[in-house]
Amino acid sequence: MRLGQSRRSGNIVDLRGRRGGAGVGLGLGTVVLLLVGALLGVDPNDLAQVAEGPAPPTEPAPTGTPQDEGGDFVAALLGSMEDTWRTTAPQANIRYEDPQLVLYDGIVQSACGTNTAATGPFYCPTDARIYLDLSFFRELERFGASGDFAVAYVIAHEFGHHIQNLEGTLGEVNRVQQQTDQRTANDLSVRTELQADCYAGVWGYSAAQRNLLEPGDVEEGLQAAASVGDDHLQQMAGQAVTPEAFTHGSSAQRERAFRTGFERGDPAACDTFRDLRR
């Protein structure tokens, strides 16, 4: 990606190397969720299971643009996504606000509970924050995804959950899931995750229009989407592929969702819930 001159976001809370931002103990210690936990996204099935809230840090956490290489790269990506959605969301009649992104090491306490790096990047709708341990991207390579645009896809997917939160989708999905059977709840989860993939593609379309992409970037994004499909993860875990247990979508579905957003550049093309309203 060509991010050298891109605006860096200052909406980053950097908890790396600090114990003040981490909780004690693991409220999600039993979470496994196929190799690396709830890989790439908030799981609406778990939204109701919020913990007591974040423990107060011993001192204020630094907020701004990190100066190290990894933090600077994330800040450039986040700034690009903010620029995209500050324009795109109002055009889609979504009242927009920037999220914050929290960088942490190992374990973190969010308003949605205590999470570890094994959970993967996640979005907490309660505090409107994206949580990210940079070590995850080394793990991502084990699943067949590498490159800077693969990293960008992950963050753009979580940003997509923020847009869903702003438009009320996450809250409505959570409400319905608590009143329905497990199969329907899983289906709603898949639709939610695929829409976030499509929203990631909408950002990719905007990045391409601003000449931020290099040859091969889109292919990296598609490969990243495929590598975290439920069928691929089940196979890597030595399990039989069980579509009724999917919560994020198959590799083919995730690739298709990202490609739809990338080719259309319009959030309206990402309505994965359309047939439910007919």
- Residue 210: inside a domain, yes or no? yes
| Per-residue pLDDT reduced to its tens digit, 218-243 | 888 888 888 778 887 788 788 888 88
Lowest-confidence region among 142-146, 255-259, 270-274: 142-146
Maximal CA-CA distance, the chain = 52
- Residue 92: inside a domain, yes or no? yes
- Residue 170: inside a domain, yes or no? yes
- Residue 41: inside a domain, yes or no? yes
| Per-residue pLDDT reduced to its tens digit, 54-92 | 444 445 677 899 989 999 999 999 999 999 999 999 999
Total domain count for the chain?
1
- Residue 7: inside a domain, yes or no? no
Q: How confident is the model at residue 19 (pLDDT cuts 50, 70, 90)?
A: low
Q: Is the backbone of residue 41 left (phi > 0), alpha (psi -120 to 50) or beta?
A: left
Q: Report the alpha-carbon distance of residue 126 to residue 148 in Å, rounded.
A: 29
- Residue 178: inside a domain, yes or no? yes
| Per-residue pLDDT reduced to its tens digit, 201-217 | 999 999 999 999 999 98
Lowest-confidence region among 2-6, 76-80, 96-100, 235-239: 235-239
- Residue 196: inside a domain, yes or no? yes
Question: 78: domain range?
Answer: 12-277
Question: What are the DSSP calls for 101-136, one per residue?
Answer: EEE-SSEEEETTEEEEGGG-SEEETTTTEEEE-TTH
